Amino acid sequence: MTTIVTDNCKDCRYTDCVAVCPVECFHYDDQMLYIDPEVCIDCSACLPECPVEAIYEEDDLPEDKFEWIEINAEKSKELPVITDTMDPLPGADERKAALGF
Amino acid sequence: MSRLGTPDNPLYVAVVGSGPSGFYAVDALIKAGVEFRVNMFERLPVPYGLVRSGVAPDHPKLKQAIKVYARLAEAEQFNYIGNVTVGADISVDELRATHHAVILTCGAETDRRLGIPGEDLPGSYTATEFVGWYNGHPDYRDREFDLSHETAVIIGQGNVAADVSRILAKTVDELKHTDIAGHALDVLAESKIRNIYVIGRRGPAQAKFTSKELKEFGVLADCDPVIDADELALNPASEAELENTGNKKIYDLFCGLAGQEPAGRRRCIFTFLKSPREIIGEGRVERLLIEKNTLSGEPFRQSARGSGETFTLDTGIVFRSIGYHGIPMSGVPFDESRGVFSNEQGRVIQDGAVEHGLYTAGWIKRGPTGIIGTNKADSVETVRLLMEDLDSLDTGENRNGVAGCYEILDRRNIRHINFADWKKIDAAEINRGEPAGKPREKYTYVNEMLALLDRA
């Protein structure tokens, strides 16, 4: 069981999730966030924080998003950890609206 | 004198309580980039609050939050003062006199009451007592729970109710390799409980369980979740609440459980729209008088009202799990109705005026809501206010942090322990858990913990 950030985060990167993560398991690049499955404690505090519902518990992950399990595990290993919230990416609100949120 | 929070004039902060909120306050202080020293006070010798003594023993992953706190405790600005009760061994005013700021993060330490007759009969317990007991909290070490009756009732449908029900439902084999306290495992091994009723005031669309918690009831070794399909009927307002994906997930899980044929020795019966009206018995709990409820109001604001229809349920043990309540501390204004210290966003206030240098965070600030991570954002908010106030904090001469506190404690012969002491207790607990294949066997008496340090 782990928790996974998926493609809705891409180009939004709101980082509301980071504010409530008890263990600093989020990592980031210039597009989105990723969860380190070895640090995450599966508390699910981040799920309701995401304005674009990008985060899933593994059990509830739709089949067409399975690839994100691997992507989170790999990317989180090589990218820096994010310890504090940041401003969303430029255009995040437009992207959010386009996603229907 | 140079500005407070600079190397020549460090900010001295006392944090009261060593649970998540306390450690997240330390984290926020480190990130604030000021020069500071923090003394964290804990009334037990052992740190970590509800992560140690609240989180269920069969949820080891959640407990890994402790790794973060242990790392913070290694910061050079950090000092741990365990086995010291603020408000008794040292007063809040004394902390305020020796520090520039005090952050109270002592949690909500008692349960809300049902307010019904018979609540104090033997056999009627609070979830807090039971959770503290199976988690080895010294306050509850000598509580006795009579599990000789076939039927237990849990009042409430939130995450603590789920923990209590699950621990009662599990077999010894399912628990013996966790960090559950040995004394609790021995009593649970003799449990005669076969029926565990989990009673909710409102309906299946309003239950506060998480889907993860509910799923755990589907995979128990010798206990089956039971739901009467008739209880899953919804009124239109509840139907509307299923638009919320969280509620829908829970409701669908309940539906999946309904109608399954129980096969195990135990049954965990989820039942809705019921409130206890009286706990009845001659000298101890024998049965529960229950009233059926109906819901009324707008979606997401529905309240439960008694329908007048009642029935009784034979039971020997009742646990109430309807929320926590903070307890007052001498020298700190308290909001009795909410069970929190009176505050605005974390600044403690007395009759509308800010108490300079006094702050609060976590459950004792906002009430007992949310999970571990919720407290992080909460402590960040409080420390942000503290930083805004930095230039207006009293910087009187005698604010010397740890030296001043130790002087007071030593004068009173109060034994205090530091983080290195805790690490010795920690190592000993891990060590003595090993033969039984447990991650640790906790020490459950304060004098045991202190005696261990005397030998070390």
Q: Most distant CA pair in chain B: distance in Å?
A: 76
pLDDT at B246: 80
Where residue B349 falls among pLDDT bands split at 50, 70, 90?
A: very high
A84 contacts in B (CB within 8 Å)? 31
Q: H/E element holding B159? A: helix B159-169
Question: From the candidates A1, A2, A15, A23, which should be mutated to test the interface with B, based on the most B CB atoms within 10 A?
Answer: A23
Q: Are B335 and B345 in contact (CB under 8 A)?
A: no
B60: nearest CA partner in chain A = A41
**Bridge-partner residues for A81, per DSSP?**
A27
Query: Could you report the predicted ipTM of this complex, rounded to two decimals?
Result: 0.91
Q: Are A1 and A42 in contact (CB under 8 A)?
A: yes
pLDDT at B73: 98
Q: Are B220 and B162 in contact (CB under 8 A)?
A: no
B445's CB contacts (< 8 A; 6+ apart) are B138, B141
Where residue B119 falls among pLDDT bands split at 50, 70, 90?
A: very high
B195's CB contacts (< 8 A; 6+ apart) are B150, B151, B152, B266, B267, B269
Domain count, chain A: 1
Residue B4 CA to residue B196 CA, distance in Å, equals 57
Q: Are B64 and B372 in contact (CB under 8 A)?
A: no
Cβ neighbour number for residue B422 with a 10 Å cutoff: 24
The domain that holds A75 is classified in CATH as 3.30.70.20
Q: Are A42 and A3 in contact (CB under 8 A)?
A: yes
Token duo for residue B85 = 């009760």
Where residue B404 falls among pLDDT bands split at 50, 70, 90?
A: confident
The dihedrals phi and psi of B269, each to the nearest 5 degrees, come to -100, 115
pLDDT at B399: 78
Cβ–Cβ contact A38 with B under 8 A: no
pLDDT at B396: 74
Residue B67 CA to residue B46 CA, distance in Å, equals 15
pLDDT tens digits, one per residue of B28-78: 999 999 999 999 999 999 999 999 999 999 999 999 999 999 999 999 999
- Cα–Cα nearest to A25, from B68, B379, B71, B380: B68
Mean pLDDT for the stretch of residues A39-55: 94
B441's CB contacts (< 8 A; 6+ apart) are B179, B181, B182, B429, B432, B433
Look at residue B261 and tell me whether its pLDDT is greater than 90: no
According to CATH, what is the number of the domain B112-324?
Answer: 3.50.50.60
**Which DSSP letter does residue B87 get?**
T
Cβ neighbour number for residue B410 with a 10 Å cutoff: 11
pLDDT tens digits, one per residue of A2-38: 899 999 999 999 999 999 999 999 999 999 999 999 9
Domain that holds residue A37: 3-98
B246 contacts in A (CB within 8 Å)? 48
pLDDT tens digits, one per residue of B313-347: 999 999 999 988 999 999 999 999 999 999 999 99
- Cα–Cα nearest to B69, from B55, B80, B82: B80
Sign of the CA dihedral with B165 first, then B171, B172, and B175 last: negative
Facing residue for A45 by CB, picked from B24, B68, B371: B371
- Cα–Cα nearest to B202, from B306, B300, B273, B308: B273
Let me know how long chain A is: 101
A53: nearest CA partner in chain B = B245
**Which DSSP letter does residue B373 get?**
T
Residue A22 CA to residue A45 CA, distance in Å, equals 8
Residues 54-93 of A with CB under 8 A from B: 57, 59-60, 83-84
Q: Which CATH number fits domain B11-109+326-417: 3.40.50.300, 3.40.50.1100, 3.30.70.2340, 3.40.50.720?
A: 3.40.50.720
**Are residues A22 and B372, on separate chains, in Cβ contact within 8 Å?**
yes
| DSSP per-residue string spanning B380-423 | HHHHHHHHHTGGGS---TT--THHHHHHHHHHTT---B-HHHHH
A-B contacts (CB, under 8 Å)? 55
Domain boundary assignment for chain B: 11-109+326-417, 112-324
Beta strands of B216-255 (E only): which ranges?
Answer: 223-226
Cβ–Cβ contact B380 with A under 8 A: yes
Q: Are B448 and B181 in contact (CB under 8 A)?
A: no
Q: Coil, helix or strand for B212?
A: helix
**d(CA A18, nearest CA chain B) in Å:** 9
Question: From the candidates B208, B212, B383, which should be mutated to test the interface with A, based on the most A CB atoms within 10 A?
Answer: B212
pLDDT tens digits, one per residue of A72-81: 999 999 999 9
C-alpha distance from residue B324 to each of A81, B110, B260, B391 (Å):
35, 6, 34, 36
pLDDT at B438: 98
pLDDT at B306: 96
